Amino acid sequence: MRRLAWCAVLVVVACGRTEVVDFPLDENGLPDGGLIDGGVSVDGGTTDGGSSTEDGGTSDGGAGLDGGRTDGGTHEDGGAVDAGPPCPIPWDATVTATLSITADDSRRVWVNGIHGESTTNQWTQPTRFSLTLFRHPQRRNVITVHATNLQNQPGFDRGLLADVRLGNSVVVTDERWKQRGGNDGGWDINDASWLNPNFDDSQWGDSVEQATNGSAPWGRINLVNTNAMWIWPWNSQGTLKPVFEPVFFRRTLYVDMNGQLVDGPAACP
């Protein structure tokens, strides 16, 4: 670049004395010695993003402060940021399980929000049917049951009894089934949001285990696993109880890498 021999005069006042400092200006009126096109800064360092301002490291996002990539390829310390190999089980893969169930007095069943059964069978008439579960170990499955009591009599007179089977794993009705009573129990029977697998049931109560399969007055229900419990929101042996009582139940399940039913999500692989 052609330079002009212009000079500027800087008057410096310091510590009670005045000094005059001359320094050359280029044709753009800037202090001579540095380009203004971003190629080189006044102190000789590039200003176009090719290198950092002081330590010579690149500042264009190509490397982190300690030399590790910051564009997602690796951690700042040089380690990879990906989650490792992908899960070999597709997210939408499914598997077939079975549900054996009865309720005193009636029940309606959904699996992952899809209606599976409605029946007014007596509690002495359990049913068993196939249900489709998601196979991916981190994908939630939720069984939802609307059970209704229709009469009132002394002792145990209402409850839900069921088991879910997949391979050699079995999940039975017990205190881990979430429950909420309809209307008087605080849940609007016309609100269908509870059927959604992603519904937050953390504020619902745990079920009460009233009696084991085989206990009076029901006796042994042969189609359901012997470890299953008759469950309800409360112990129905009392005398002051409603005749009509709808109850909503939810049970969350996952299928692990070995194809077994488990309570929570599992790692994959």
Looking at residue 261, its pLDDT comes to 98
Q: What's the CA gap between 101 and 114, in Å, rounded?
A: 17
> Of 143, 103, 109, which Cα lies nearest the Cα of 121?
103
What's the CA gap between 174 and 176, in Å, rounded?
5
What pLDDT, on a 0 to 100 scale, did the predictor assign at position 94?
A: 98
Least confident of 10-24, 178-192, 227-241: 10-24
CA distance 32 to 42: 9
DSSP letter at 44 equals S
Q: Mean of the pLDDT values across residues 89-108?
A: 96
Distance CA 240, CA 152 (A): 9
Residue 27: pLDDT over 60? no
pLDDT digits (tens, 9 = 90+) for 192-224: 899 999 999 999 999 999 999 999 999 999 999
Q: Which pLDDT value is given to residue 83? A: 55
Query: Could you tell me the two tokens for 232?
Result: 């309800």
- Check whether 4 has a pLDDT greater than 60: no
Does 191 or 50 have the greater pLDDT score? 191
Compute the distance between CA of residue 192 and CA of residue 64 in angstroms, rounded to an integer.
Answer: 51
Q: Please state the pTM of the whole predicted model.
A: 0.68
For β-strands 245-255 and 178-181, DSSP reports them as antiparallel
More confident residue, 238 or 193: 193
Number of H helices, E strands in the chain: 0, 15
Domains of the chain: 94-262 (2.60.120)
pLDDT 10s digits, 28-62: 444 454 433 434 333 444 444 444 444 444 434 33
Separation of alpha carbons 261 and 166, rounded Å = 7
Q: Taking residues 120-141, what's their average pLDDT? A: 94
